[in-house]
Structure 1
């Protein structure tokens, strides 16, 4: 004979089984639905923000800058393509104009040619852009130059040139654009750098590359940049698993890290000299 306490306990178990079996799936689907709705609203907000936004891209003639131009153009932004090679910029502008974008209204890219190592040219370029558009929504500091060589063989002139183009130039451009953003209390500044800004690598003492993302396709990184601007994130590492692990390896096992990087650099140097 089953006691009342046992029957009560069995009833509780059955009730819990029923609730679990009937409620867990709706709850799960509900959570998935809410998350999907959140992502959709976030995507719509990003597209709305970038539509008709004035976006400056330095180093737009190749690599990541070129891919950023493509994705921001497709998002409906008003592009300002910057670089030293006007012919390459005009070619990119024609390519963008010829691309078929049906989702949003696109705008003819505006071209500004200047050298980031020339402070006077930066001031003149900024004045031209602000006179044309009146404001800037997004500044993407992408331009940069690269150099590979042993530190003992790297002249100070090379160091100065790299720093002028990769650091002081973007800083000067940012300072020139910033007052207009502060006045409007609105704007985004994107500083694209290499993973080598967080870890040092042998034979790259003068290197501050801003055009690659360690093994990822430029188009993939460009889409990530678009998403970062839309979601208003502050600091993001855009890299595949291996380069990301390199950051932790540099911290946890610096000896092993430098040994691997030095070996790789010596092989590349030997191949280059042969």
Structure 2
């Protein structure tokens, strides 16, 4: 391409750049408008990804309803907001609703208190969860039930409790923080992966059924995040795992993931994977070459078994 041709194409190139920049600007304005003044409920807000999501949504001008089991930790988080907020936009004092998501009897009453905070809910972020480490042959069914109660039945029950108010308004957004293990299973994570697979299936169905009511559903599947999830995981006998896995320690920053969650919610994305290349590649291998995937997982299981029993 000679110089004259290049000079002739320059205005066209600049035009494309300008249009792209304008598109990005309009997208950012639309995202901010969607989140500002929206009533956002976040479960599991006392630590990890939930706490970081609370921070970024608060900075975006949302009206927060923070949920968790520990009221003192929720109170401390709201005090931190009051002293550390530097955003120029109007921010609201969060409302606190403390309850145990694993307690079925507490959820209906908690949903009523959530609705009393600001009169309605625009966005529900089902984030609370528990992890698990153990061999299937050693794991009691009670442990399987406990993980399912927290990771699956709890979010489902809370969603169902808040759904009628959204349907009545013909507006709302249900978000669930699943996991890459909701799409692929890895050895010694059976209860956790099962709960996340069930979560993926339920909220995929919900998305289809709620479209006619104007309600959006987003499933977000992160990979490893550097939080205390593995430390607080339960084991085959129900005891606390108490170990920071290498993969967890090397995971993404929860602050970074929270920003990605904010963007996914603001853009009303339907299904989002937030992981490194290798776990993402594994989801494709599971679909396109399942035999290879199964061999890889069997090899991984053998290696992990040997490392525990040298």
TM-score, with structure 2 as normaliser = 0.76
Distance 1:88 1:261, change over 3 A: farther
C-alpha contact (below 8 Å) 1:61/1:83 kept by paired residues: yes
2:171 & 2:133 partners in 1: Cα distance?
38
Figure out how many residues of one structure are paired with residues of the other and give that number.
258
1:109 counterpart = 2:94 = yes
Bigger drift between 211-220 and 57-66 goes to: 211-220
The answer to whether the 8 Å contact 1:83/1:89 transfers is yes
Instruction: Please list the CA deviations of residues 209-260 of structure 1 after superposition, one character each: whole Å capped at 9, or x if unmatched.
Output: 6995323221121111111121111111111212211212333444554454
Are the aligned partners of 1:63 and 1:211 in contact in 2 as well (CA < 8 Å)? no
Give the direction of change, closer, same or farther, for the CA distance of 1:233–1:73 in structure 2 (3 Å limit).
same
8 Å contact kept, 2:123–2:175? yes
Q: Which residue of 2 aligns with 1:213?
A: 223
1:33-48 matches, cutoff 5 A: 33-48=18-33
**Aligned partner (choices 26, 29, 49) of residue 34 of structure 2:** 49
The separation in 1 between residues aligned to 2:8 and 2:69, in whole angstroms, is 62
The equivalent position to 1:224 in structure 2, one of 251, 260, 263, is 260
TM-score by length of 1: 0.86
Residue 165 to residue 211, structure 1, CA distance change in 2 (3 Å):
farther
Q: How far apart are 1:263 and its partner, in Å?
A: 5.0
Shift of 1:125: 0.9
Q: Please, which of 153, 172, 177 is the counterpart of residue 138 of structure 2?
A: 153
Q: Does structure 2 retain, via aligned residues, the 8 Å contact 1:143–1:211?
A: no
Does 2:196 align with 1:196?
no
1:267 CA displacement: 5.4
- Following superposition of structure 1 onto structure 2, how do residues 111-126 of structure 1 map, counting pairs within 5 Å? 111-126=96-111
Q: Deviations over 1:78-126 (max 9, x none)?
A: 1111111112212222222221323211111111111112222111111
Q: Which aligned pairs between 1:64-79 and structure 2 lie closer than 5 A? A: 64-79=49-64
Equivalent residues in 2 for 1:239-254 (5 A)?
239-254=275-290
Which residue number in structure 1 is paired with residue 124 of structure 2?
A: 139
Choose from 166, 174, 177 the match for 2:162: 177
1:119-159 Cα shifts (integer Å, max 9, x gaps): 22111111111122110010000111111111111111111
2:136, 2:190 within 8 Å by CA — same for their partners in 1? yes
Q: Which residue of 1 aligns with 2:79?
A: 94
Q: Does 1:83 align with 2:87?
A: no
Partner SS state of residue 90, structure 1: helix
Larger radius of gyration: 1
Say if 1:201 and 1:262, in contact at 8 Å, map to a contact too. no
| Distance change >3 Å, CA 265–CA 218, structure 1 → 2 | farther
Secondary structure in 2 matching 1:190: strand
Over the aligned positions, Cα root-mean-square deviation in angstroms equals 2.3
Partner of 1:233: 269
After TM superposition, the structure 1 stretch with the greater mean CA deviation from structure 2, 259-268 or 62-71, is 259-268
Retained in 1: the 8 A contact 2:95–2:117? no
